[in-house]
Amino acid sequence: MVTDLVQIRRLGAEKEVENRDFRRYLSAHRRRAEELQALAARIQPHIDCTACANCCRSSVVEVHRADIEAISRHLGVSVDEAARRYTTPDPADPATRLLKSARDGCIFLDRNLCTIYEARPKACRDFPHLAFGTHSLGGRISSLCRWVSLCPIVYNAFEGYKRAVGYRPPPPGTPEPGPR
């Protein structure tokens, strides 16, 4: 298992084309999510997320009314004040609220720790979205793949999944397949 963040970033970048081809392979072979989820469940206990916090530095987190209410209760402020101080409208959809980010990531990130951990939004609680009973592999594979070079859980789960499904990357110099 690879846990060094610098190595994961380097390997993730080196395997960008391979991972894109793997997504195509999965689309063509209709694999069930449970095997990937089982791998992630075995890996997650061995990863200290507080040594990383890349998800908190790199995520755009959509928050819902229940999330804002939990944050407001946790911080002892009104729901309106929590929404105003800690969220912002999504530029692509102003009806949707996003958790504000600071220069180094989430507004609630202090070093590698969440200052509202007990009241963190559902999207944060569910990260890396590989738990049993979550979205199907087909619906999440593209967004999960962007985390391969950032999250040790996702990196190791995808590498194990490639082996489990018998995926073999095309040899170097193999022409790109046509559009899908």
The predicted-structure confidence for 5-63, as pLDDT tens digits, reads as follows: 999 999 999 999 999 898 888 878 877 778 888 999 999 999 999 999 999 999 899 99
Residue 176 pLDDT grade (very low, low, confident, very high; cuts 50, 70, 90): low
- The two tokens of residue 88 are 């912002």
The structural domains of the chain, with segments of one domain joined by +, span: 5-54+128-165, 60-125
What pTM does this model have? 0.85
